[in-house]
Amino acid sequence: MAENDVRSNRCSEGMGYVHCFADKVKRFPGLAGRETWKVGKEDPRRVIHSFKVGIALTLVSLLYLMEPLFNGIGQNAMWAVMTVVVVMEFTVGATLSKGLNRGFGTLLAASLAFLTEYIADAPGRIFRAVFIAIAVFVIGTMTSYVRFIPYIKKNYDYGVLIFLLTFNLITVSSYRIDDVWSIAEDRITTIAIGCAICLVMSILVFPNWSGEDLHNNTISRLEGLANCIQVCVREYFNDSEESTCQDDSSEDPIYKGYKTLLDSKTTDETLALQASWEPRYLRYFHRIPWHQYAKVGAALRYFSYTVVALHGCLQSEIQTPKSIRALYKDSCIRLGEEVSKVLRELANSIRNNRQFSPEMLSNNLNAALQDLNSALKSQPQLVLGSKNGRATNTPIQAVQHHDQKLEEDTRTSSPSVKNIGSSSRLGCRSREHSRELTKKVLRTQLSKIAIVSLEFSEALPFAAFTSLLVEMVAKLDRVMDEVEDLGRMAYFREFEDVENGDKIVVTCEKPKTDIAQNDVPSAGSE
């Protein structure tokens, strides 16, 4: 840290850009090495994928390097190299999507181009040129418009683009070249060879499945949220003062737990789309419902917003005293633990491809809610307002007292003006400065004084924390519904109660956790 400060001072104090640039050049190998090692350590599959791409490029380059293969294909062998560079992706689903789109797009465009050539070859050269221009205009307009259709853009945009490129290439070239069929044949052959090499390397050599990534991501996010809630509730009651002093949110384990989930919408949709191309099936050749995994991710994002708000309670500037929080500590921690257990049970259900028991999870949540309800009813005066006499002034009296103090401070701090004629500018500046000072002090202090003077100000943060816990239980019901639908659509195994030795057949219907029926009072009602 000190070394970086010294370098920045040297660059800013006038040693010149040349020395700074030389310093950066010296440090570049070490930074590049550490970053390269970090990328490979985060996911070793990236190293394997890089070797796979290198091997595929080497194999397809033999079409151009070996004399017999080059004589059979010719200069169009470079199309195979370009195909490998464009089509070879990290996962099997992405490679299949781009490879099949490229192959079908090329084949369909070549067929339509030859049909156009057959029609335009009848009367004469002038008519042929006009017909080709009209065909290029019509196909280009229609193809570009089709790309705006959401379903086409989501699934076949790359294939439509390759179709438009190949059609124009063959159709326009046919006007000047007589043997256009050889060009199209070589292009189709080389693209097929390139796609075949990509598919073989992706599927047969250490395959990376998009569906497997989506499956594992869903499990890790469920467990990450469970850990976030557990740590958040415990820190609120145990280490609240230490947690509020943490300014670097990037090092906060709670923040790390839900950060990736908040930004996962695009990733989940992309992985679900790529996984739909993969030839992976369940028992009895049922398709895996990858789109349902995306719905589970959407429900988790909706649930995580409450976790973010719960985390914000730890960093609030106004905190409820520990003596009051200790009275409800056990009930709140139990509710947080039950929510974490439900999330971990859902993660295990997806990991082991088995259904869960909604009745058991709902009963445990209801018991924890009733426990919190009893704790809140036992000490209602502590939640509704502080009776310890620490805040006796009303907000209006506090503001008036603060205004009088400000006025006295302004009178004593304003300088006495002796020479009015010679210091008019200084007088104006001093008055403006005093006004700005008064406004600044009012803006920064008025709201705090008004809030602290409220009799129930100490109870508000805890009331917000408790209400977020109850809201979390309500939103958890949606996550349970989506995971239950996933188990039904993916034909998960039936749930078995290992402790009791009973086999429970789980149906799609389950009792809802009705928060209103639990009779948990809010912080502002008797």
Whether 27 contacts 35, CB under 8 Å? no
Task: For tokens 């019901």, name the residue.
Answer: 477
Task: For tokens 């195994």, name the residue.
Answer: 493
- Which residue has better confidence, 136 or 124? 136
Of 266, 158, 275, 268, nearest to 207 by C-alpha is: 275
Alpha carbon separation from 486 to 413, 496, 504 (Å, rounded): 70, 18, 18
DSSP secondary structure letters along 367-390: HHHHHHHHHHHHSHHHHH---SSS
Predicted confidence (pLDDT) at residue 11 exceeds the cutoff of 70: no
Q: What pLDDT is stored for residue 451 in this prediction?
A: 42
Q: What pLDDT is stored for residue 341 in this prediction?
A: 92
Predicted confidence (pLDDT) at residue 161 exceeds the cutoff of 80: yes
283-333 confidence digits (pLDDT tens) = 656 788 899 999 999 999 999 999 998 888 888 777 877 877 888 888 889
165-211 confidence digits (pLDDT tens) = 989 988 888 877 777 777 778 778 888 888 999 999 999 999 999 99
Rg (CA), the chain: 34
- Which residue has better confidence, 426 or 211? 211
Mean pLDDT of 47-64: 90
Bridge partners, 502 (sequence order): 497
Q: What is d(CA 298, CA 292) in angstroms, rounded to the nearest whole number?
A: 10
Highest mean pLDDT among 232-246, 375-389, 411-425: 232-246
Q: What pLDDT is stored for residue 418 in this prediction?
A: 39
28-43 confidence digits (pLDDT tens) = 777 888 888 888 888 8
Percent of the chain beyond pLDDT 70? 71
Mean pLDDT of 98-118: 89
Mean pLDDT score across all residues of the chain: 76
191-201 confidence digits (pLDDT tens) = 888 899 999 99
Q: What is d(CA 346, CA 439) in angstroms, rounded to the nearest whole number?
A: 54
Of 408, 402, 411, 407, nearest to 445 by C-alpha is: 402
Residues 207-244 as b or e (16 or more Cβ within 10 Å = b) = ebbbbbbbbebbbebbbbbbbbbbbbbebbbeebeebe
Quickly count: other Cβ atoms within 10 Å of residue 63's Cβ: 23
Task: For tokens 């063959």, name the residue.
Answer: 170
Q: What is d(CA 71, CA 60) in angstroms, rounded to the nearest whole number?
A: 15
Q: What pLDDT is stored for residue 136 in this prediction?
A: 92
Q: What pLDDT is stored for residue 250 in this prediction?
A: 53
- Pairing mode, if any, of strands 502-503 and 496-497? antiparallel
Percent of the chain beyond pLDDT 90? 28
Amino acid at 295: K
- Which residue has better confidence, 415 or 362? 362
Whether 504 contacts 357, CB under 8 Å? yes
Predicted confidence (pLDDT) at residue 230 exceeds the cutoff of 70: yes
Mean pLDDT of 371-400: 56
Whether 141 contacts 81, CB under 8 Å? no
Mean pLDDT of 387-395: 41
Q: What pLDDT is stored for residue 403 in this prediction?
A: 47
Q: Return the minimum-mean-pLDDT range out of 62-76, 314-328, 413-427, 450-464.
A: 413-427
Instruction: Count the residues in the chain.
Output: 526
Q: What is d(CA 435, CA 417) in angstroms, rounded to the nearest whole number?
A: 17
Predicted confidence (pLDDT) at residue 159 exceeds the cutoff of 90: yes
Q: What pLDDT is stored for residue 446 in this prediction?
A: 42
Q: What pLDDT is stored for residue 383 in this prediction?
A: 55
Amino acid at 156: Y
Q: What tokens were used for 159?
A: 């294939």
Q: What is d(CA 85, CA 158) in angstroms, rounded to the nearest whole number?
A: 15
Q: Return the minimum-mean-pLDDT range out of 122-126, 230-234, 481-485.
A: 122-126
Does the pTM surpass 0.75? The reply is no
Quickly count: other Cβ atoms within 10 Å of residue 486's Cβ: 21
Whether 329 contacts 212, CB under 8 Å? no
342 CB-near residues (< 8 Å, 6+ apart): 361, 364, 365, 476, 480
325-339 confidence digits (pLDDT tens) = 888 888 889 999 999
Q: What is d(CA 94, CA 98) in angstroms, rounded to the nearest whole number?
A: 6
Predicted confidence (pLDDT) at residue 143 exceeds the cutoff of 60: yes
